[in-house]
Structure 1
Amino acid sequence: MQAIAQLKEGDSVEETYLAATKQIATARNGVTYLSIKLADKTGEIAGRLWDNAEHVAGKFQREDFVRIKGIVASYQGMMQIKMKSLEKVDDAAVDIANFVQAASREPDEMVQELRAALAGIGNTHLNQLMQAFLNDASFMESFKRAPAAKALHHNYVGGLIEHVLELINLCRDVAKHFPAIDTDLLVSGAFIHDIGKTHELSIRKTIEYTTEGRLLGHISLGYEMLVEKIAGIPGFPEETAMLLRHIMLSHHGQYAFGSPKRPKIQEAVVINYLDDLSAKINNFQATLEKENVEEGGWSAYNKMHDRYLYRQSLSPDSAASAHEPEGAQEDANAQGSGKLPLDI
């Protein structure tokens, strides 16, 4: 398999990819060409076909598998494949494992760890709430398969539960240093903060937003799910319900990051920061792996982190001789925090 992440300028390509997007476009000189986004589980790359563009475009649809022949080239600093030919490939002839990435751990193993973590919640009502979710077979089937995001972090089958387990473990560690924190509320908030992503995202051949995901978003969807489960528990304290709803509404931290509210209790502050930490470290590690960055080397510019990423050498001596890539100073015009609100 010629993985997209490993393609280099000048490579000859003859491989099957997913046509993630498809568009007939017109160049400045008036020539019509076919523009598609080719994808596998390692990444995406633009594809351009100039000969018989409209005829070839009629052979396939968006999200079909296609076998292409072409040459990898660089255009305006971005890699693309100049395609010479393209043919549709039947789904049955394709190994879907090449296109849908999955967590390294088995989903059921992660579910067991989650159940054990939530079983330690001592607050009776919070424990009942957690069990209400855990005993919802339909929810758990979706939860253990869902990705945590479309592109930026934990974007694979089982990514959501993996992200949530990371966050729960981080929360427990941090809570040890701050005795005034309500650990039961903190862990419960870590579990529920992204439950709406079970409805926001879907996995078929790729990760895509659902219609309700595009219209409502995971915070609104998760809020509705939380309120519904709380309503099914007699005598659930109003204060506790309000604090949990606040954690969900504030976990993105800032209005500019898509957060309806900013954190105003310490448990919400912790979840906001650790949620971001889990996302960014996962993205950092995945970037180095996908781009095959060697020790002492640098990644391409990373949008989430708003910078180039360095893989340190195991040898201090060789690390001292490494140089940041040309033009790698933080863009004077890129003043953002690197936290992208719609995909965390």
Structure 2
Amino acid sequence: MSRRTVRELVDGESVEEIYVIADKQLRANRNGNTYLLANLRDKTGAISGLMWNVNEPAMAHIDSGDFVKVQAKVQMFQGTLQMILTKIEGVPADGLDPEEFAPQAACDVQRLTVRLTELVADLDDENVRSLLQRFLADETFMQGFTQAPAGTKAHHAYLGGLLEHAVNMMEVADRIAPLYPNVDFNLVKAGVLLHDSGKIRELGYEDSFLYTDAGQLLGHLVIGVEMLNEKLAEWNAENETPFPEETALRIKHLILSHHGTHEFGSPKVPMTPEAVVLHHIDNLDAKVNEFLRDIDDDPNVKSRWTAYNQRLGRKLFKGSTDEANE
């Protein structure tokens, strides 16, 4: 018997099914009573699960990243489906297919890997090209880079998402380069490949998407610079001429400034033309992906609008759909 996936859930149905608990929080309502807020997911999407009148000891048997079996009623609340849980219990991973629970990329990972290799090979700065090819030749790096999501919730939050994000950004950089002849797009493309590379160590993504200890303590910007330093050390050990110091400094700045502002987690704001280009390409691809997925994943298919997205601070207009016109 096939699973009842998140995407198949409809308002009013009762469900008994296994999901991954991607996030677990105990909160207090207005009366001070504690309730469970769980983010439940499988490969098709995520849904919030709420269980009223629980306490810490009662929920100690489950944790983020666990497989859980739930009994619940699905209901629509403010335009979004949620589950009201009556029972939740951990289940062993034995016999479960991890691919049923991890969101998958809609893209062809192998094709994107080939395209990334081609785009790096086309760089005309020999030093930058050779440095990036060291990353591409690193099997451990590429195993993570082609599997990792680009985030846990916001954009490209699925297996292969980090690779898709990087190739999309590289393609954008390739197309706009002729418009800005005074910008060094060899550096921009180095920033594209490396700006989120630290996420392969920041995130855990085998069963569910979680932050590792290193991810929580350091973050992917710092980790990314550490990974770059590792490759620069290899370069300098194997070459008579050390890697150009200013070029290395500029690439590190790209990694550390790509979030754009201090309030969004950048220890440095963009201070080179290449850094400001990278920041805006990154933001463009991330936001477009988030908008499209929010529209595509909206459970209320007959509505012309999505539910209010707290993260984006707005609803999104879907317009006419076949379902809405029936």
Would the aligned equivalents of 2:79 and 2:306 in 1 still touch at CA under 8 Å? no
1:268 aligns to 2:275 (yes or no): yes
Secondary structure of 1:245's match?
A: helix
Report the secondary structure of 2:190's partner residue. Answer: helix
Matched residue type, 1:145: Q
Q: 1:255 to 1:36 in 2, by over 3 A?
A: closer
Task: State how far apart, in whole Å, the 1-side matches of 2:76 and 2:302 are.
Answer: 25
Provide the aligned length of Structure 1 versus Structure 2.
316
Distance in 2, Cα, partners of 1:226 & 1:141: 17
Q: Distance in 2 between matches of 1:19 and 1:273?
A: 33
* Greater CA drift, 271-280 or 181-190: 181-190
1:84 is paired with a residue of what secondary structure?
Answer: strand
- Asked if structure 2 preserves the Cα contact closer than 8 Å seen for 1:101 and 1:156, the reply is yes
Correspondence for 1:45:
48
Q: Distance in 1 between matches of 2:35 and 2:300?
A: 34
Residue 297 of structure 2 is matched in structure 1 by 290
**Structure 2 partner of 1:212:** 214
Aligned to 1:140: 142
Contact 2:80 2:307 in 1 (8 A): no
- 1:303 paired with 2:310, answer yes
In structure 2, C-alpha distance between the alignment counterparts of 1:60 and 1:267, rounded to whole Å = 46
What's the secondary structure of 1:176's corresponding residue?
A: helix
Q: 1:232 to 1:56 in 2, by over 3 A?
A: closer
The answer as to 2:69 corresponding to 1:67 is: yes
Tell me which residue corresponds to 1:151: 153
How many Å separate the matches in 1 of 2:311 and 2:58? 35
- What amino acid does structure 1 have at the position aligned with 2:287? K
1:187-266 equivalence runs, <5 A: 187-233=189-235, 234-266=241-273
TM-score, length basis structure 2: 0.85
Percent identical among aligned pairs is: 36
8 Å CA contact 1:72–1:81 kept in 2: the answer is yes
In 1, the alpha carbon distance for the partners of 2:318 and 2:245 equals 48
Q: For 1:161-190, what per-residue CA distance to the aligned partner results, in whole angstroms no more than 9, with x for missing partners?
A: 110001101111111211212121221221
Deviations 1:237-265, CA, capped at 9 Å, x for gaps: 12211211111111111111111111121
Residues 308/28 of structure 1: CA separation in 2 closer, same or farther (3 Å cut): closer
* 1-structure distance, mates of 2:8, 2:74: 11
* 1:98 maps to amino acid: E
* Correspondence list, 1:72-91, <5 A: 72-73=74-75, 79-91=81-93
Offset, 1:283: 0.6
Q: Given that residues 48 and 80 in structure 1 are in contact (C-alpha distance below 8 angstroms), is that contact kept between their aligned partners in structure 2?
A: no
Farther-moved stretch of structure 1 (215-224 vs 69-78): 69-78
Quote the offset at 1:232 in angstroms.
2.9
Counterpart residue type for residue 240 of structure 1: T
The worse-fitting range, judged by mean Cα deviation, of 59-68 and 112-121 is: 59-68
> Could you report, residue by residue, the CA deviation over 1:16-43 in whole angstroms, capped at 9, with x for unpaired residues?
2223355677877787766644332301
| Alpha-carbon distance in 1 for matches of 2:107, 2:78 | 39
Instruction: Give the AA of the match of 1:185.
Output: L
Cα distance 1:136–1:73, how it changes in 2: closer, same or farther (>3 A)? Answer: same
Please give the secondary structure, in 2, of the residue aligned with 1:19.
strand
Q: What does the per-residue CA deviation read over 1:285-323, in whole Å, with 9 as the maximum and x for residues that have no partner? A: 1111111465871111123432111124489xxx9x9xx
CA distance in 2, matches of 1:142, 1:153: 18
**Unaligned 5+ residue runs, structure 1?**
322-344
- Provide the residue aligned with 2:285 in structure 1: 278
| Cα separation, partners in 2 of 1:62 and 1:27, compared to 1, 3 Å | same
SS in structure 1 of the partner of residue 94 of structure 2: helix
Give how far 1:272 is off. 0.3
Q: Distance in 2 between matches of 1:242 and 1:250?
A: 12
Cα deviation, residue 111, structure 1: 1.5
Distance 1:256 1:34 in 2: 30
Question: Gaps (5+ residues) in structure 2?
Answer: 236-240
Q: Which string of whole-angstrom CA distances, capped at 9 and with x for unpartnered residues, describes residues 17-74 of structure 1?
A: 22335567787778776664433230131231669x8997576555332322221246
